[in-house]
Structure 1
């Protein structure tokens, strides 16, 4: 038997209509009562009454869209009441597909006749539904065999739903959610290893928009109660010759759209997904470009290239498997870059294999791209550090060489640059950048420092000290020594004696 909800702000109105239903023996199984729109929404979703007697004046502006969505989803027989006989109220009743509009006050006899007729109509509809609907959880007409074998459906067109969570461990929780959900037409639920399949009753008169609205409500209600990301496919092909197995295979293909959209999304399909075929390998020019970008060391350039080539906003999408191959083709160029800089070992080698597995198995494209960019950024940073270390090593080698050879009065910039395998101009620039001094200044500083030591620690003549310190002659030595220390070699020695 059908149920009825009486929604009115006035408790006397609710009580009066409820008394009329019971006293006149109108065969409603349940009589529900709601005094606020919050109660109306709660009862519509939890109890799904077959008939609703609703006071229009209680509906707020912000509640109208939700009310229409619930009426479209659950398809109750709607009766509306109002104290204002206005055109606006009449239009609201039309928007809800109301069976009747009552202007208060209305006679009990008229209310009784309308409620009785609505009850009879609902009873008849329920009876016809039970006789003609082929899919119910109890009847078992649709089963796993229909999913995996192309069995005929005798002209029926069952809509199908595929639900997949990012973490399959939460699928039992999702299954309980579906089992308790107040569907207008309960689907047969067929849980598989990584997806839950729902097969809805065949209803050739049901508009596709209502089926789509069911999907939107499901996703919204699931996210209101769970943090587990859900991807939902609603497949509603009207091809009457298509078996449920064919529909299931098409829906499985549509499930791969999450590769581009991510989770927390609803995809609505009415036909087989047509993937775009692409060349999965980099062209020779693209390979050269990647070599240049990697050795150029600018991660922003790489990032923009990846975003241009792997940001897909709308259909048609490329076939996901081919896209994964293309990403591995890019990773091959990164591998060569690693080897050329001796980075294919230890933790970096393990991280490379982890990125490779991410490309093969991650369900979401943007995560793969993000992982690759982070890995490439780390490689570039390490290569840059290597270059800095090499520059520092070059200067240290040069200084050590000069410290061993500064006593040679013929030591030149070209000699030191040749020792560290650099051009004289590049070495001179690098020395100035790292030490803040020129080659000639550094060499003179080493020689003067040695001369000071010899003056204070030995009794050698000034001429002998000049020669041992690498100066050409004593006069030049004395001139440079005074410029650098502010005193002459002889005065420094005399100060030591005093």
Structure 2
């Protein structure tokens, strides 16, 4: 296997190379690229089968050439990042990486991923050489003007629920009683089966049932049931039908004639959605979180996979903020679960599993946050600032009100707030209100008295006085200038 490592940190790359040379089972040739020119040259001359790159590199326009080359790379791309941020998830999805590691890389996981890639590559090459009809693979991937199947032969594709069962499935198919009536051709993750039968659905369901009984796992089977066409068209349409497993799970037969119509939607959270999630987490309302997530899986409505994954990483970003407020990231097990959830969102093939993973993790965070409140380990200043950001328009918002909501004394909140922020609570609240008022003076035609009211000032004269103290001029002069 030829592996290219791309990162600015040559020390990290040297450590990875040493580990793989020492412990990787099988021959592996490794090159390192620490600059854009080195990376481009290695891709062209070395022709790596696998690329492991630091996705944080793509932060400026100078790297656009490397980015375009990677998008066209025919091999496997693995990526790593310093932090699991939303923007890095977008880059990973765009490059269609097979796995996104979070630094420091778990080298055992890297070894497992490379082993799986090596086995798939070796297996595909061996099967191709031993195939009794090599022309089948040419027909499958290259355009042909002729149909390649007789009337009583049916094109199907089978994929196991668990990728590690692939070899076992291939061997099992060769030994099943109905093997004599079908030909099997393994691909990298799926197996093409050409059934010779007069009752395809019966045979397919029998196959699924027998596999479940003997291996305690499920199969998905895609069936081409359209008009006679080329092998490549059958493959393309059947493979597309199998994509429905993301929404439906395993244990199903998917017909090429019944393709799902997916809808697009804006994957980024709106301010209102962010506020809803924040409030639900703070209130410990897990049912509201469930309702928010399950709206993505309404019956009969299917959103594009990439949009859903991006949307859920945006949800995870709000969960991350909640973790930081209550210092839950300092718990090693919770931090590890968070990183695992990030990979679940990016990589897992089943949508409902991802949703349940988020809900389970969120439920645990809510419980820990409640414990933190009881133990007074929460960052009360950050919580107070969040309340101000949410309710500064309310003229009744005050230090005693916020302290009561946090379950601490006003004097204690006043002391820690001034110490951390460098100014008193009241002054900070006025600052937030005045900053929002300046925006409204520029962006709206509202009367000054109405702007005062919308920013928590019942008395417009008092608003003008405070505004001048903060800005140096009156609201009227500010709007005019």
What TM-score comes out, normalization by structure 1 length?
0.46
Instruction: State which structure, 1 or 2, has the greater radius of gyration over its C-alpha atoms.
Output: 1
**What TM-score results when the alignment is normalised by the length of structure 2?**
0.48
